């Protein structure tokens, strides 16, 4: 490389990411952010158990079986080891599969799942043998990048997991011991080379919806490992004439935060999910569950779901919402989750199993559901902090009506922060069948004290079934 090409190796955002990843120190992270990081790590492990026996996770583990590596990283839930980038793929896809990991309803790109970064970072941290404090710091780094970009970039045509890959590249690069210059190259490699299409989340959905999260994690770690080995990334990955800003970001933006000397950081802003379903279906689930307490499914003549426009347009429109052929499409369908809640009283993993998905009575009930946008609800959703309002009105065969409500201060709302007790209850509910009550308690206690762990290689055995 000649001297002229060395003059400008990084654009502004690339440089800020690398500097933040390199310079953030655990001791400067506010205690509330440390606690938020621990909570999201715990929640991601819980979601991993929810997805472990899915077809997606089985296929991912079968793929990883052809790539063993004794000194690599662990596939969570097992004692099998593979390459760190393959472990990142399997573990992130598994935690994403059941739609029970955290969510961030951003200002710019709609719903995003920042916890997609956690298990890829763990794979890199296990491979590197770093301590719990370093792992936690890297998770804060990735969330800061992911949420900061989500708020200011409007991505059209490309998938949200591209942001996860960029965030993992920076955070994994940190735990792998990259220099600031190598971190710039890792960010650049991932930014330019990995831009997934949003067809992942269009029409009938497949297992790739979850696997896309794993692919992003693999891309981030691969970029970091390449940079560590000396590979250079393209110059100006964001600002170049054919860079990310031109083709993906498109709008003018400035990412806030990324200050290694000043918190609070963004990690506390994601939401812990109370149901295993797409975030913008959850207010419809809450409202339908409320209505289900007062009506029997056989008595339903017609159902009107009033919700905010973002939910109606995203998961309440299109023929596939009334005819889902996979659990991935069903958990992104307001008609399906409302019908399931009215029929069964609640919505959980059971409602997305094959036998329930194809139940003829449930299929008939789905056809009775109408979804409309309510202007007042849309306005409340567009404000910050967002409110997730939905009203489900059930018209019965005898001419009566039953109403269920969700959203705001008076009813269940997706945006309400979860207590530590609620988060622990979720973890135990999803893990105890696999770890036993004593094992689940031990893993939970250890994760709340993850900053005391000398090597994150101690973590995967805690979660082996």
Per-residue pLDDT of 407-465, as tens digits, reads 999 999 988 888 999 999 999 999 999 999 999 999 999 999 999 999 999 999 999 99
Residues 30 and 103 in one domain: yes
Mean of pLDDT values over 75-86 = 98
Residues 356-383: pLDDT tens digits? 999 999 999 999 999 999 999 999 999 8
CA distances from 249 to 108, 181, 229, 240 (A): 10, 24, 29, 12
| Residue 439 belongs to some domain of the structure | no
Residues 244 and 284 in one domain: no
Residues 263 and 283 in one domain: no
DSSP letters of 39-78? HHHHHHHHHHHHHTTSHHHHHHHHHHTTSEEEEEEE-TTS
Residues 226 and 341 in one domain: no
| Residue 413 belongs to some domain of the structure | no
| Residue 416 belongs to some domain of the structure | no
Residues 200 and 96 in one domain: yes
Q: Is the pTM of this model over 0.75?
A: yes
Q: What's the domain count of the chain? A: 2
| Residue 432 belongs to some domain of the structure | no
Residues 341-355: pLDDT tens digits? 999 999 988 899 999
Mean of pLDDT values over 45-70 = 96
Residues 369 and 254 in one domain: no
CA dihedral of 97, 98, 102, 103, whole degrees rounded to 10: 80
Residues 120 and 105 in one domain: yes
pLDDT at residue 417, as a whole number: 87
Residues 372 and 342 in one domain: yes
CB 244 within 8 A of CB 188: no
- Decide if pLDDT at 6 tops 80: no
> 181 lies in which domain range?
3-272+454-462
The residues near 139 (Cβ < 8 Å, ≥ 6 apart) are 37, 40, 41, 117, 118, 121, 171, 267
Q: What CATH number is associated with residue 383? A: 3.30.1330.120
Residues 236 and 380 in one domain: no
Q: What CATH number is associated with residue 248? A: 1.10.4100.10
Residues 265 and 304 in one domain: no
Residues 378 and 292 in one domain: yes
Burial of 242 (0-12, 13-18, 19+ CB in 10 A): exposed
Residues 237 and 339 in one domain: no
| Residue 419 belongs to some domain of the structure | no
| Residue 173 belongs to some domain of the structure | yes
């Amino acid at each position: 490389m000649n001297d002229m090409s060395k003059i400008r190796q990084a654009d502004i955002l690339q440089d800020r990411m690398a500097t933040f990843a390199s310079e953030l120190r655990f001791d400067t992270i506010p205690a509330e952010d440390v606690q938020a990081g621990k909570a999201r790590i715990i929640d991601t492990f819980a979601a991993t158990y929810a997805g472990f026996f899915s077809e997606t996770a089985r296929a991912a583990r079968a793929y990883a079986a052809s790539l063993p590596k004794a000194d690599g990283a662990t596939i969570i839930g097992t004692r099998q080891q593979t390459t760190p980038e393959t472990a990142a793929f399997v573990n992130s896809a598994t935690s994403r599969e059941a739609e029970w990991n955290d969510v961030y309803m951003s200002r710019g790109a709609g719903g995003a799942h920042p916890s997609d970064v956690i298990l890829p970072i763990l794979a890199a941290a296990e491979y590197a043998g770093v301590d719990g404090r370093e792992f936690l710091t890297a998770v804060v780094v990735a969330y800061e990048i992911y949420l900061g970009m989500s708020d200011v970039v409007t991505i059209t045509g490309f998938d949200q997991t591209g942001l996860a890959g960029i965030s993992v590249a920076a955070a994994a690069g940190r735990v792998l011991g990259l220099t600031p210059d190598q971190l710039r190259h890792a960010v650049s490699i991932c930014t330019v080379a990995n831009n997934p299409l949003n067809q992942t989340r269009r029409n009938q959905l497949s297992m790739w919806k979850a696997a896309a999260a794993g692919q992003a994690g693999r891309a981030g770690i691969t970029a970091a490992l390449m940079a560590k080995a000396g590979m250079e990334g393209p110059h100006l990955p964001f600002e170049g004439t054919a860079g990310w800003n031109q083709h993906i970001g498109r709008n003018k933006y400035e990412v806030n935060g990324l200050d290694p000397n000043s918190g609070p950081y963004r990690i506390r802003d994601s939401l812990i999910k109370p149901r295993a379903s797409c975030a913008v279906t959850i207010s419809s689930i809450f409202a339908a569950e409320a209505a289900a307490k007062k009506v029997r499914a056989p008595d339903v003549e017609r159902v009107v779901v009033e919700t905010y426009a973002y939910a109606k347009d995203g998961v309440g429109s299109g023929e596939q919402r009334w005819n889902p052929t996979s659990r991935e499409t069903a958990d992104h369908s307001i008609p399906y989750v409302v019908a399931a809640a009215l029929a069964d009283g609640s919505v959980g993993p059971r409602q997305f199993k094959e036998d329930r998905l194809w139940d003829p009575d449930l299929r008939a009930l789905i056809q009775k559901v109408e979804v409309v946008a309510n202007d007042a609800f849309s306005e409340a959703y567009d404000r910050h902090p967002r409110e997730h309002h939905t009203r489900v009105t059930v018209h019965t065969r005898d001419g009566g009506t039953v109403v269920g409500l969700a959203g705001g201060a008076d009813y269940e709302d997706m945006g309400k922060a979860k207590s530590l007790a609620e988060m622990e209850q979720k973890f135990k509910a999803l893990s105890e069948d696999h770890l036993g009550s004593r094992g689940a308690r031990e893993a939970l206690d250890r994760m709340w004290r993850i900053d005391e762990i000398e090597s994150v290689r101690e973590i995967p055995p805690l979660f082996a079934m």
